[in-house]
Amino acid sequence: MGMCLSRSSGPVKKRQSKRLTNQSAAAVNGGGSNRWSRNRSSKRDDSIIQERALAAAILLQQQMQNGGGVGAVPFDRSASLRYPNSNSKKNPPLPRSSSSRARSLTDPLLQPHQLVNQEVKVDDLETNHLDPLVHGGGFGAWCWYKTIALLEEAGFKVTAVDLTGSGIHSFDTNSIASLSQYVQPLTDFLEKLADGEKVILVGHDFGGACISFAMELHSLKVSKAVFVAAAMLTSGQSALDMFSQKESTIHHDNPQEHMLYVSETLFIEMRSRIFEENCPKIVSGKTDSNDLMRQSQIFIYANGNDKPPTAIDLDKSLLRDLLFNHSPAKDVALASVSMRPIPFSPVLEKLCLTDSKYGSVRRFYIETTEDNAIPIALQQNLISNNPPEQVFHLKGADHSPFFSKPQGLHRILVDISRIPST
């Protein structure tokens, strides 16, 4: 009986299993769904593979463009870091910086600095020496670090000089007695050039007066001169005169009294008057550009208060508003620990410029539209009084375009270098 029961239970189980096959229709349909899911996953995987292949092609193309050849840089196989599994159920990763994010198909093949430098063929230029770069009053060669990097990457030969008592030049600023002494590092550089070798001089701020002095001495060694928000003076003018619409007719019998008057009254008041008459008020909190210039100047009397000042320092707390109102904070910090006093005697010295020497050099001017130190109206006065060959407009730049608009400044310098000789 037991055997009979065991036999009878067997077929029942088989029949039940056969009936279950009818219910498994849904499972069959489910299997179709699984196949569709697998197909979708396969397509997604194909898309990822295609994207990886495209990224590899882009990397290869960049290596070829940079002259590295096929095997210059080993291929990075850690693609999973850049293309995470789309099926991952983990929380989305935190945003990464652009330097480590995955490359998008919409990204340019070249980096921004490479886009700036593309199509630059320095071998076809009259000269590929864009130097020396001459800093303004209180600055040093350090201020050109972005410009140097961009120009060198484009293939130019670049040098930035520290004028006497500036940057890391160890000479005491208070002991500088003349413009020729102040610009000696620049004139020494030009004297050492080989016969027939020419350069493009670039001067910023008071560096404009310095390159003008050098152009008069070494006109045959200068292909072009570029004035960047700079003192572009005429013969008989000093940097002080730049801030006056007419030369001073004030005279004193006592030369010492005259120097004191010029230093303490004329320098400040002339600059203030030209701001008030020609320049719009540029508000920074409760201080306009005129007040900023007046408040920022600190006269240094190294030889005693009864003698003419020896240098002018700038209040570090006002540097941002006066010189760097559109510059990155890190560059303002660099300037605040690097700037040095401006020697006073060179500021008073009048230039002697001739048409046969200084006048034979092609001049170009770069305007800085958001400048609080030499406002745009004052720059345009300089241009109208001493017209250059061409004027360039650097929109959005403060008095320090090498910080606030480095790529725009670079582009203009390259464009000037491309202008053919006449």
Catalytic residues: 205, 371, 399
For residue 297, list its beta bridge partners: 314
Note the helical H segments in 262-323.
267-278, 289-296, 319-323
Name every residue whose Cβ is closer than 8 Å to that of residue 224 and which is 6 or more positions away in sequence: 200, 201, 361, 362, 363, 364, 416, 417, 419
Q: Dihedrals φ, ψ of 120, to 5°?
A: -85, 115
Q: Which helix (H) or strand (E) holds 364?
A: strand 362-368
Report yes or no: 419 and 224 within 8 Å, Cβ to Cβ. Answer: yes
For residue 202, list its beta bridge partners: 133, 226
Place of tokens 């009936």: 19
Taking the C-alpha atoms of residue 63 and residue 60, their distance in angstroms, rounded to an integer, is 5
Residue 132: is the preceding peptide bond cis (ω within 30°)? yes
Taking the C-alpha atoms of residue 417 and residue 198, their distance in angstroms, rounded to an integer, is 12
First to last CA, the chain: 122
Taking the C-alpha atoms of residue 154 and residue 115, their distance in angstroms, rounded to an integer, is 10
Taking the C-alpha atoms of residue 112 and residue 202, their distance in angstroms, rounded to an integer, is 24
Closest by Cα among 151, 153, 221 to 186: 221
